[in-house]
Amino acid sequence: MGYEIRIHPDLRVAQFRFFGVISVATARRAFEDYVAHPDFDPGFTMISDAREVTELDASYRRIVTNILGLARPLRRFDKGALSIVLVGDETTYGMVRMLEQVLDFFSAIQLRPVWSEEEALALAKRPEAGFAELFAQTDQEDVT
């Protein structure tokens, strides 16, 4: 499948983990799964860990086309939302930056790629030292 989602209502955080080969369709499916979940809240901070992505099957055209297909769920974020993506290599960083540009144009979601857990947690305004500390605070409910 290539992803896992855990929602932490008490922390107001949605945690995504992407691994292996990720396509634009897979990323879209993850977003749709999150928005369809009963614990979904558009105000939650989304924190994605993409350090285990080994290959990306994406292009700018496919990113734009898929974002256009998400018009209805993206409207649920009308008050804005923060989505932070921890990357592990330059290819993933570049693709996330492309997605960031498209989302900035078509939605109120602020997508931000980062290189470290510390940077991700600082952007999310979390006091924890790392992801393990953050997500150990609560029972995690798997969406997938």
For each of the chain's 144 residues, which pLDDT tens digit applies?
A: 699 999 999 999 999 999 999 999 999 999 999 999 999 999 999 999 999 999 999 999 999 999 999 999 999 999 999 999 999 999 999 999 999 999 999 999 999 999 999 999 999 998 888 888 887 766 555 555
Written in H, E and C, the secondary structure of the chain is CCEEEEEECCCCEEEEEEEEEEEHHHHHHHHHHHHHCCCCCCCCEEEEEEEEEEEEECCHHHHHHHHHCCHHHHHCCCCCEEEEEECCCHHHHHHHHHHHHHHHHHCCEEEEEECCHHHHHHHCCCCCCCHHHHHCCCCCEECC
- Please give the domain boundaries of the chain with CATH numbers for all domains: 3-137 (3.30.750.24)
